[in-house]
Structure 1
Amino acid sequence: MNEVDPRYIIRPNQIIQKNIAAFTIPIITTQEGEPIGQWQLYQQFPDGSREVSKLDTTLQTPAGTTYYFHPFPSPPAIAKSSGWSAKARKQWLEAGTQNDPTETFNTVHNLITRYIDFNHDQAEGIVNTLTLWIMHTHIYGAWEATPYLHINGPAGSGKSRVFEVLNRLVYRPMNVSNTTPAPLFRQLDEQGGTLLLDEAERMQERTPEVSELRSILLAGYKKDGKAARCEGDNHASREFNVYSPKALACIEGLPHALSTRCIRIMMFRAGKDSQCYKRRIDEQAKHWQQARDKLHTLTLEQGVVWLQLAKRTDVCPNLHGRDYELWQPLLSLASFFESQGVADLHAGVLDFAYYNHEQGKQDKATDIDATLLRIAARMILTQTIAPTAQEIINCARLDEAETFDRITPRKTASILKAYGLTTQKSNGKRIYNNISRKDFQRIQQNYGLDLDLPKQETQQQTITQQDLDLLQVTPNTEYIPALETCPTVPSVLAREAIGHEGYVGY
């Protein structure tokens, strides 16, 4: 038995290695007179030679390296678009055509500006960023992390038009607004692609389904991002690879942990004299196809270059941590296209990265405030015992540990105090007492926040010492809420508190 090195077990949808660049293309053939879907593998090697073959479970390169494909994809749907036209594929294979990187960049850039009006003083930085991100979706496998996009803005600001453009240009688009976890992680695992998730406001919801979707999005930012599931009668555990570029569009904000994985593109309503949205998106469909053909060809022709760009550390001055991860792929691509003739591209995108970073710091503070206010509102308005700052931050950590682990109870109290919510001393603790629904309604109105207030005041129940004895709860024990009871109404808490140690719900 020959042991296989895990480094050579790869997904076939997008292959960028030092000795080969390749990807799968869905085509339609016939079998016994019936149309069937089939995967073909288009390959280009460092010496410039090119091949195409039916996808098999393994691939051996001219250099002698054997790759093993896992998972092996199911046959593509009959209606699945190849993205890369048959004519362009034939020219690439037979004529050995070379793609001009500058021409490819300008083609995508010009399509964006023709159909989208950003009406923003950072418009050029946004257009360049979108152009580079579209290119990145075709080669994201070369990087260890992929930036998400957050398309944010009021109704009528052009978010849907941005998605229409992305849907015609990104690698293997998955345009959805109401998906469930199972088909999403299976398709990402089998075929890869670019997720375009509209109406992403629902990622704020607390339902089990949305929580599962949110976990897929959080994990899929990194190359080793996996979604673990139990399958079959024996409930065997299996991991699904959910790494891929993703764009999320919404009017309201995203959960903070998710927003930190995104480059935010803020949209505003276009002026009355704007012509962009009066143009039909497919008025000249051939222009979209020409752009896709150029993107696919460039992907294969520059395979080794993409690997080199992924290792560059000099393209992101003064950007660190998550900001570095977000911007390094795009800034390294900007450096490449600038070297090919796109003037002043890197400096312009870097300026937009700095702008985005500063805006992100302000948005982060707002998101944290809103989350703590929502939790405080639910706990204060639905629980009998007034909570402390410690109890509020404990609840926040259960849902978004990455965001709230470093926020202390003292900091929590300071944030809530800025909105007029103060504590009172009671039995040696400082609690949030005598705060009413009207106080939270005032905050909503004055600060434009949606605190998801309970629809009506919950009738408070008096908890006696006999109740506590029955539940075997010690009143002075530190409150450590469980996720399913944080926060909820007293009648539910009383049933769920049994079996929990500590001051659960009271």
Structure 2
Amino acid sequence: MTSNPFAALERKRMFEARETLREHPELRAEVDAHLSLPSRAIERPRPAEDGAGLLRDLRSFVQRYVVLSHAQATALALWILHTHVISSFDVTPYLNINSAEKQCGKTRLLEVLKITVANPWMTGRVTAAVLVRKVDAEHPTLLLDESDAAFNGEKEYAEALRGILNTGYLGDGKASLCVGQGAQITFKDFSTFCPKAIAGIGKLPDTVEDRSIPIRLRRAAPGEVVARFRRRNVESEVAPLRERIEKWSSMVVDSLAQARPLLPDCLSDRQQDVVEPLLAIADAAGGEWPKESQAALLEIFGAAQGDESVGVRLLADIRAVLGGDEENPRRERISSADLAEALGKIETSPWGEWSKGKPLTPAKLARLLSRFGITPTVKRIAGSPNQRGYERTDFEDAWTRYLPRIGLQNVTASQANVYGPSSDFSKYHAETDVTAQKCEIANTDGRCDVVTLLTPIRGTEEGKEGTLEGEL
């Protein structure tokens, strides 16, 4: 059989062209492919991984499969990187992924996290002993689904799980288990420290919520469409992203251990602990991320203020009743009966239907306030002697300690970004449609622009009355 002379000529020309492409290895590799020749892997020097670009791509990846706000996706991108550099920190913020109903994307979000976080372990109900031993041995990123079933089930198991989660927030957190048999039985401490994302319907125990970044999901509206999550396709899609995560993490893990980011003073001490690792990562990434991250976290925690404990809500409402502004004159003392009546008139709080549909009574008010060391005393009020009531000064210490410190003045000045090149932040403001507010930074005399949507500690949720009454 005679060979095709045109094919032979073409092959000869390709060999000649190949010799002229020594300075262009990519093109030479294409020629080698046509010639069926083995081609060397092209080793190209890569620039240092762009942390800001990596976070942007991570945020976009998560939003592709789950309906999230911009702020939530920002926090999740930071948290994913946190799982890869957790050795740099002695605190790990939990993710509290919750929703009011089923089919809001909680499990899907855990699946997305599973293919991006470090050493994932996705599980549902698991015995306390298995949980402790696995965390101690492998230090995984725990992705715990259906937490509502765990905490609302067997009381002994729920308490054990809560204890593990409470201690696992700190780098030296430990849980003790019995080991051995018979006369050889003894106790051993196991490490409980690892990143944890906890998904479920409703509330977590207060002590666990206090250690968490709240990610409240809602069911997708008709116009909110996300991509279908096909594991085989997604895993191949995320592979290059994981390589970038690992590369960037290896570059910054040592320096992050020394990082001391500026913390918003309008957050509580525990909230500052929770956000510090994420803000350190944002600072290391540079670009727009220091500002965007602080804004996102403040928005998230501000939206969660409505879920404060009943005691904190009560303190806030009493402060409103006692006044001190143009609309509500300042009052120095008030009788128990008048205070209970005034609280019951606040439509956005539960006091009007506090006890089985009936208003809060002076006796139950005193019981609620007793946890803060506040008790009514007999005094002369409004010319009437021998009335039980309260002085304004009775509440001032509790207000200082428990009510959030929120700056309310608008500002236009911005703090300089000392961690990376300056960037235009106006696009983010336009996308998120939020208002810049002033927020003091701890341990500094400066100010920074942050985005806050902090709401008053008011508002009742459907079905809340029974829960609040149960706290008594």
* Fold similarity call, TM over 0.5: yes
Identity percentage of aligned residues = 25
TM-superposed CA distance for 1:298, in Å, is 1.8
Partner of 2:125: 178
1:227 maps onto 2:179 in alignment: no
TM-superposed CA distance for 1:290, in Å, is 1.7
How far apart, in 2, do the equivalents of 1:91 and 1:178 lie?
47
1:327 aligned to 257, 268, 275, which one? 275
Partner of 1:249: 199
Residues 218 and 155 (structure 1), Cα distance of their counterparts in 2 relative to 1, 3 Å cut: same
Partner of 2:298: 354
Partner of 1:218: 166
**8 Å contact from structure 1 (residues 115, 279) kept in 2:** yes
**8 Å contact from structure 1 (residues 149, 246) kept in 2:** yes
Partner of 1:503: none
TM-superposed CA distance for 1:256, in Å, is 0.9
Within 5 Å, give how 1:10-409 maps onto structure 2: 98-118=48-68, 123-153=69-99, 154-201=101-148, 202-205=150-153, 207-233=155-181, 234-309=184-259, 312-337=260-285, 339=286, 341=287, 343=288, 345-366=289-310, 406-408=371-373
Residues 367 and 140 (structure 1), Cα distance of their counterparts in 2 relative to 1, 3 Å cut: farther
How far apart, in 2, do the equivalents of 1:368 and 1:177 lie?
33
**8 Å contact from structure 2 (residues 176, 187) kept in 1:** yes
How far apart, in 2, do the equivalents of 1:320 and 1:254 lie?
19
TM-superposed CA distance for 1:140, in Å, is 1.2
Residues 405 and 353 (structure 1), Cα distance of their counterparts in 2 relative to 1, 3 Å cut: farther
Letter in 1 for 2:279: L
How far apart, in 1, do the equivalents of 2:271 and 2:234 lie?
37
Residues 366 and 199 (structure 1), Cα distance of their counterparts in 2 relative to 1, 3 Å cut: farther
**8 Å contact from structure 1 (residues 220, 243) kept in 2:** yes
Gap runs ≥5 in structure 2: 1-40, 314-350, 356-362, 377-459
The higher-RCO structure (CA 8 Å, 6+ apart) is 2
Aligned-residue RMSD, C-alpha: 3.8
TM-superposed CA distance for 1:167, in Å, is 0.8
How far apart, in 2, do the equivalents of 1:175 and 1:410 lie?
48
Cα deviation 1:58-77 (Å, max 9, x = unaligned)? xxxxxxxxxxxxxxxxxxxx
How far apart, in 2, do the equivalents of 1:452 and 1:195 lie?
30
TM-score normalised to the size of structure 1?
Answer: 0.53
Aligned to 1:227, what secondary structure does the other structure show?
strand
TM-superposed CA distance for 1:302, in Å, is 2.1
Aligned to 2:258, what secondary structure does the other structure show?
helix
TM-superposed CA distance for 1:389, in Å, is 7.1
**8 Å contact from structure 1 (residues 389, 409) kept in 2:** no
Aligned to 1:308, what secondary structure does the other structure show?
coil
How far apart, in 2, do the equivalents of 1:305 and 1:136 lie?
13
TM-superposed CA distance for 1:197, in Å, is 0.8
**8 Å contact from structure 1 (residues 173, 193) kept in 2:** yes
TM-superposed CA distance for 1:166, in Å, is 0.5
Residues 407 and 447 (structure 1), Cα distance of their counterparts in 2 relative to 1, 3 Å cut: farther
Letter in 2 for 1:172: N
Letter in 1 for 2:292: G
How far apart, in 1, do the equivalents of 2:462 and 2:265 lie?
39
How far apart, in 1, do the equivalents of 2:306 and 2:269 lie?
18
How far apart, in 2, do the equivalents of 1:315 and 1:407 lie?
28
How far apart, in 2, do the equivalents of 1:91 and 1:368 lie?
62
How far apart, in 2, do the equivalents of 1:267 and 1:353 lie?
16
Runs of 4+ residues over 6 Å off in structure 1: 94-97
TM-superposed CA distance for 1:351, in Å, is 2.1
How far apart, in 2, do the equivalents of 1:162 and 1:348 lie?
22
How far apart, in 2, do the equivalents of 1:127 and 1:193 lie?
22
How far apart, in 2, do the equivalents of 1:214 and 1:138 lie?
25
Partner of 1:25: none
